[in-house]
């Protein structure tokens, strides 16, 4: 029996506030603990939970790779530990210093860690969107777009010489606003196909930016 799954956004999220609830939909952060918020949909709870688990596992594969402060932190750690050895800190003080350094190192990367968790949440939301769920959490950005809703330009393959191919087609009056489709490429060359306004197709070959029509304009039929 299917149940109506109502993952409605809590008041704080609807208002656009940054504070998330402590539990339930919209709580947590990152792939490990974030609880997605989706619009009500007739999906069995077990199916939804399984979908969330699948998307959580996929998002968890995004690693934390920030390293821009590593050199500076290594210098601070070395100086602090060196001072401890030089001045003969007691064992307790030494352990306290090392623990403090570890906490400091972790805190330095707090902004990067927050951005990483936000990317994981986006991956989760994208994954759920592909499964048919509609995100209802204003704090999570969804970047996935169905193929039938993507701009035409996003669906066609392009290359480094696409613009040059389009300019050639325009100069030869194939189309006032030609859109070249990359059909093949190799070392130093690209081949494009361009739909002309008269219903025919123009084949273009470009070599290191120099483009020419290879077969003239042929019928699309």
pTM of the predicted model, to two decimals? 0.49
pLDDT tier for residue 133 given thresholds of 50, 70 and 90? very high
Strands 41-42 and 4-5: antiparallel
Q: Are 26 and 37 in contact (CB under 8 A)?
A: yes
Residues 113-132 have a mean pLDDT of 89
Q: pLDDT tens for residues 63-106?
A: 876 555 445 545 545 555 555 555 554 544 444 444 444 554 55
> In this structure, which long-range contacts are made by residues 50-58, counting pairs with CB atoms below 8 Å and at least 24 apart in sequence?
51/128, 51/131, 51/133, 52/124, 52/128, 54/127, 55/123, 55/124, 55/127, 55/128, 55/131, 56/31, 56/32, 56/124, 58/123, 58/124, 58/127
Q: Is the pLDDT of residue 204 over 90?
A: yes
Counting residues of the chain whose pLDDT is more than 70, the rounded percentage is 64
Tokens of 40: 């009500």
Note the pLDDT of residue 171: 92
Burial of 170 (0-12, 13-18, 19+ CB in 10 A): middle
Query: Residue 64's pLDDT is what?
Result: 77
As a whole number of angstroms, the distance between CA 103 and CA 106 comes to: 5
């Amino acid at each position: 029996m299917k149940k109506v799954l109502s993952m409605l956004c809590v008041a704080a999220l609807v208002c656009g506030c940054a504070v998330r609830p402590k539990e339930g939909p919209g709580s947590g952060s990152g792939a490990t603990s974030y609880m997605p918020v989706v619009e009500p949909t007739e999906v069995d709870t077990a199916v939804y939970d399984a979908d969330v688990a699948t998307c959580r596992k996929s998002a968890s594969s995004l690693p934390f790779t920030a390293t821009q402060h590593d050199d500076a932190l290594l210098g601070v750690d070395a100086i602090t530990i060196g001072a401890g050895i030089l001045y003969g800190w007691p064992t307790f003080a030494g352990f306290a210093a090392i623990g403090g350094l570890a906490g400091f190192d972790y805190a330095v990367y707090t902004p990067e860690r927050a951005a990483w968790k936000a990317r994981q949440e986006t991956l989760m939301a994208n994954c759920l969107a592909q499964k048919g769920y509609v995100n209802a959490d204003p704090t999570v950005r969804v970047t996935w777009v169905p193929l039938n809703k993507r701009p035409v330009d996003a669906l066609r393959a392009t290359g480094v010489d696409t613009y040059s191919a389009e300019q050639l087609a325009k100069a030869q009056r194939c189309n006032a606003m030609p859109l070249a489709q990359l059909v093949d490429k190799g070392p130093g060359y690209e081949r494009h196909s361009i739909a002309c306004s008269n219903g025919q197709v123009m084949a273009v070959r470009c070599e290191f930016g120099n483009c020419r029509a290879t077969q003239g304009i042929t019928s699309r039929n």
